[in-house]
């Protein structure tokens, strides 16, 4: 089981050498727990010494499976679906920075919250058109650098479009590129998918899924709610899924508690 956890590096406020030191300590802590990757949630990838970071993670025989981009929308308001072309252009420019980092770190670039939300004088239909147009430009960038985009269906309470596996797969099909695949998140699955068909839908589409986020129905660590992780994980295990399972949860009571309890819980399920 390729297990990772989302972490941030505070690159806006910490010096480059301190970032590397923090990252090294993080690897040192997570490796003995059975983690083989660290997913990074970052705002300014260009502020990070990628070569030094990769030297650290390679020394632990670990990987950076994906880069989270949602903070770009939350902090700066840049989104791929915004009604203003200038804002969409800023979002694409930010995505290009993540792509440059991903090309050096062999990571995927997540397309989730950065899709944004439509505002007045716009509409869901126009937003979807803008997202498609923006992603077309992003795909041109990733194709040049052989990077994979991971499109994440997100629940309707956080975002206005592409909530489900089916409509997200429809967008991927329309984009018609080998450089964009699906990311599935158990928290969003719990909120959006039909419980009568979700397991069959996942089995049919494992080959289209490149990355997985794990959180229970309460967005806390797996096992703290009632999501059926056993059935979920067995679908991917039986299909010989080779990608990462990445913990993206509320880190309470602490990052360490979530990391330790989740690793034990998930490996018990995987090894049954």
Other Cβ atoms less than 10 A from the Cβ of 65: the count is 25
Is pLDDT at 261 greater than 90 in this prediction? yes
* pLDDT given for residue 260 in this prediction: 97
Number of domains in the chain: 1
Tell me: cis bond preceding 117? Omega within 30 of 0 counts: no
Question: b/e string for 45-57 if b means 16 or more Cβ within 10 A?
Answer: beebebeebeebb
Is residue 248 within 8 A of residue 39, CB to CB? The reply is yes
For 67, how many CA atoms within 13 A lie in the half-sphere containing its CB?
30
Which pLDDT tens digit goes with each residue over 103-149?
Answer: 999 999 999 999 999 877 788 899 999 999 999 999 999 999 999 99
Mean pLDDT, the chain, integer: 96
Q: Give the pLDDT band (50/70/90) at residue 50.
A: very high
Which pLDDT tens digit goes with each residue over 64-107?
Answer: 999 999 999 999 999 999 999 999 999 999 999 999 999 999 99
- Token pair 């770009």 is found at 72
Residues of the domain holding 83 = 2-270
* CA–CA distance, 260 with 121 (Å, rounded to integer): 47
Q: What percent of the chain has pLDDT over 70?
A: 100
- Kindly report the pTM of this predicted structure: 0.96
**CATH no. for residue 42?**
3.20.20.150
């Amino acid at each position: 089981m390729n297990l990772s956890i989302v972490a941030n590096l505070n690159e806006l406020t910490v010096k480059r050498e301190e970032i590397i030191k923090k990252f090294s300590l993080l690897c040192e802590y997570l490796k003995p727990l059975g983690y083989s990757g660290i997913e990074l949630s970052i705002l300014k990838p260009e502020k990070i010494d990628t070569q030094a970071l990769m030297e650290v993670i390679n020394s632990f025989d670990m990987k950076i499976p994906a880069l989270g981009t949602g903070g770009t929308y939350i902090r700066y308001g840049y989104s791929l679906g915004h009604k203003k072309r200038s804002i969409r252009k800023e979002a694409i420019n930010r995505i290009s920075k993540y792509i440059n980092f991903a090309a050096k770190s062999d990571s995927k670039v997540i397309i989730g919250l950065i899709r944004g939300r439509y505002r007045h004088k716009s509409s869901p239909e126009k937003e979807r058109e803008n997202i498609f147009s923006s992603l077309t430009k992003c795909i041109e960038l990733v194709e040049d650098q052989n990077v994979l985009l991971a499109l994440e269906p997100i629940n309707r309470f956080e975002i206005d479009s592409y909530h489900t596996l089916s409509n997200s797969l429809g967008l991927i099909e329309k984009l018609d590129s080998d450089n964009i695949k699906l990311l599935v998140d158990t928290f969003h699955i719990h909120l959006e998918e039909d419980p009568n068909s979700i397991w069959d839908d996942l089995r049919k589409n494992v080959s289209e899924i490149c990355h997985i986020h794990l959180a229970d129905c309460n967005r806390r660590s797996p096992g703290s709610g009632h999501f059926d992780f056993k059935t979920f994980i067995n679908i991917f295990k039986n299909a010989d899924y080779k990608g990462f399972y990445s913990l993206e949860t509320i880190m309470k009571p602490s990052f360490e508690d979530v990391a330790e309890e989740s690793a034990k819980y998930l490996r018990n399920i995987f090894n049954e």
